Amino acid sequence: MMQKNELVKVKIEDIGVGGEGIGKVDGYTLFIKDAIIGDVVEAKVMKAKKNYGYARLMNVLTPSEDRVEEVVCPMARKCGGCQIQEMKYPAQLAFKESKVRGNLERIGEVPGELLDEIMHPVVGMDEEGMQPFRYRNKAQFPIGTDKDGRVTAGFYAGRTHSIIGNTDCVLGVEVNEEILNCILDFMEEFEIPAYDEVKHKGLVRHVLLRYGFKTDEIMVCLVINGKTIPHCHDLVGRLRQIPGMTSITLSSNTAKTNVIMGDTIRLLWGQEFITDYIGEIKYQISPLSFYQVNPVQTEKLYGLALDYAGLTGNETVWDLYCGIGTISLFLAQKAKFVRGVEIVPAAIENAKENAKLNGLENTEFFVGKAEEVLPREYKKNGVYADVIVVDPPRKGCDETLLETMIEMNPERIVYVSCDSATLARDLKYLCARGYELRKVCPVDQFGMTVHVETVVLLSQQKPDDTIEIDLDLDELDATSA
């Protein structure tokens, strides 16, 4: 066993699911954040348990071949947003691919030989030797007060709620900094207090920013612990000078909670939404709606989902967890009819509007929990599906939902997942009940982080899928003779 504060020299041999380096000293396992496979590092033991411990990276003695020369963001180690910025992009992709594969094998019990056959290599961003940055169309900055009493915007330090001032996150668009400085200057000038999470006092909690990559439209939504902002008119006057400003709104959140957004939105200036395109389809996005954060990769992801759905124009499709109808409308271009279900009412309003906007009227959208709406529509109203697409949040699908899907018995199921562990769990359920895994493709939507999106295709196991046996008739004759 190690002692706390002990300094050790470790060769990093493995990587954990959170991106942390793993190495051994005399058989004792140490987890070291910011160290990567191939590094030899000096680390200080911070927490020592019986069989393993956590250590802090002090010095990289011999850098790994996969280590970048210089990390782009000076805050990378402190900030909880990026976990693997120190790793070259091809190594990040390899890590993600093996993470998906590992989860499917271990949790999903998918045989390795099958994955060798059906798993596509991870689809990364095309950056030609560069690290991909500035890919995010959305940022949520917490607002707080620094130790000198000045209002600040930034990020939570990893695993904590203390705010590290940083208005230029390199994953986001450059204009974010200008917008944040405009808001912070305004707060400073009119002495508008930032929210204090511990005391549950103060006003401005968060700033949500969205940027339409294809339209250059900007959305600003201030989340406040109250109903109004004093001198609001002045703030709007400043913000609207920023080129591209399209939507300025307030969301009131007076609850003592970690949830960022309030339930409602109040328009301050412009319109309540911005518009953006994925492929040919135009989407209106409001502050409360989910929208994929990496539009370039999303186009590839949806392209795959559409391809896997195998539509010919005659199919009835369900898109579960549909958000603003992004995948639904992609599918509606090629299907007979698409039904979407989503829990956030504002997102469904967007979805209906988006269907009209694109002239895709072969769609119907439902507000509610997928695990309640689908069984209801199936059992009471007799709806069916040739293809079901699911795109749940990290916790995956509710078992009631999977059960109904099995009962509905669609030809194909396309599962889009942002957490390969829950994906694997759900695949195991479906594959034990008549479905067969046909295709798997990880897509990197979140460079510099450990997160990875995966899209898979399942189809009904057909009786004619049974193993072919070559009967040797001569041999048969011989034995029967």
What residue ranges bind ligand SAH (CB under 6 A)? 290-292, 321-323, 326-327, 341-344, 347, 369-371, 391-393
| Least distance (Å) between residue 121 CB and ligand SAH | 22
d(CA 389, CA 370): 12
| Cβ atoms of residues 324 and 382 within 8 Å | no
Q: Kindly tell me which of 64 and 289 has the beta carbon lying closer to ligand SAH.
A: 289
Q: Kindly tell me which of 63 and 279 has the beta carbon lying closer to ligand SAH.
A: 279
| Least distance (Å) between residue 395 CB and ligand SAH | 8
Q: Kindly tell me which of 290 and 318 has the beta carbon lying closer to ligand SAH.
A: 290
From residue 57, give the alpha-carbon distance in Å to each of 8, 11, 30, 64, 417: 10, 12, 11, 14, 32
d(CA 239, CA 237): 6
* Amino acid at position 128, single letter: E
CA atoms within 13 A on the CB side of 392: 19
| Least distance (Å) between residue 300 CB and ligand SAH | 13
Count of C-beta atoms within a 10 Å radius of residue 203: 18
Is 418 part of the annotated catalytic residue set?
yes
From residue 364, give the alpha-carbon distance in Å to each of 248, 281, 312, 382: 30, 17, 19, 15
d(CA 20, CA 7): 18
DSSP class per residue in 121-158: PPB----TTSPP-S--SEEEEEEEE-TTS-EEEEEEBT
What is the distance, to the nearest Å, from the Cα of residue 73 to the centroid of all Cα atoms in its chain?
21
| Least distance (Å) between residue 374 CB and ligand SAH | 9
Per-state percent for the chain, helix, strand, coil, to nearest 5 = 25, 30, 45
| Least distance (Å) between residue 207 CB and ligand SAH | 21
Q: Kindly tell me which of 72 and 261 has the beta carbon lying closer to ligand SAH.
A: 261
| Cβ atoms of residues 349 and 273 within 8 Å | no
Closest CB to ligand SAH belongs to which residue?
323
Q: Kindly tell me which of 60 and 293 has the beta carbon lying closer to ligand SAH.
A: 293
DSSP class per residue in 213-281: TTT--EEEEEEESSS--TTHHHHHHHHTTSTTEEEEEEEE--SSSS--S-S--EEEEE-S-EEEEETTE
| Least distance (Å) between residue 344 CB and ligand SAH | 4
Q: Kindly tell me which of 137 and 166 has the beta carbon lying closer to ligand SAH.
A: 137
d(CA 34, CA 83): 7
d(CA 297, CA 452): 11
Q: Kindly tell me which of 225 and 417 has the beta carbon lying closer to ligand SAH.
A: 417
Q: Kindly tell me which of 143 and 441 has the beta carbon lying closer to ligand SAH.
A: 441
Q: Kindly tell me which of 220 and 373 has the beta carbon lying closer to ligand SAH.
A: 373
| Least distance (Å) between residue 96 CB and ligand SAH | 19
Q: Which of 426, 412, 456, 403 is nearest to 316 (CA)?
A: 412
Catalytic residue among 169, 418, 431, 441: 418
| Least distance (Å) between residue 347 CB and ligand SAH | 5
From residue 450, give the alpha-carbon distance in Å to each of 11, 276, 301, 315, 379: 21, 27, 18, 36, 40
| Cβ atoms of residues 256 and 276 within 8 Å | no
| Least distance (Å) between residue 213 CB and ligand SAH | 15
d(CA 398, CA 242): 44
Q: In what order do the strands lie in the sheet with 412-417?
A: 363-367, 337-342, 316-320, 387-390, 412-417, 453-460, 435-443
Helices 399-408/370-379 angle, 10° precision: 30
Enumerate the active-site residues.
418
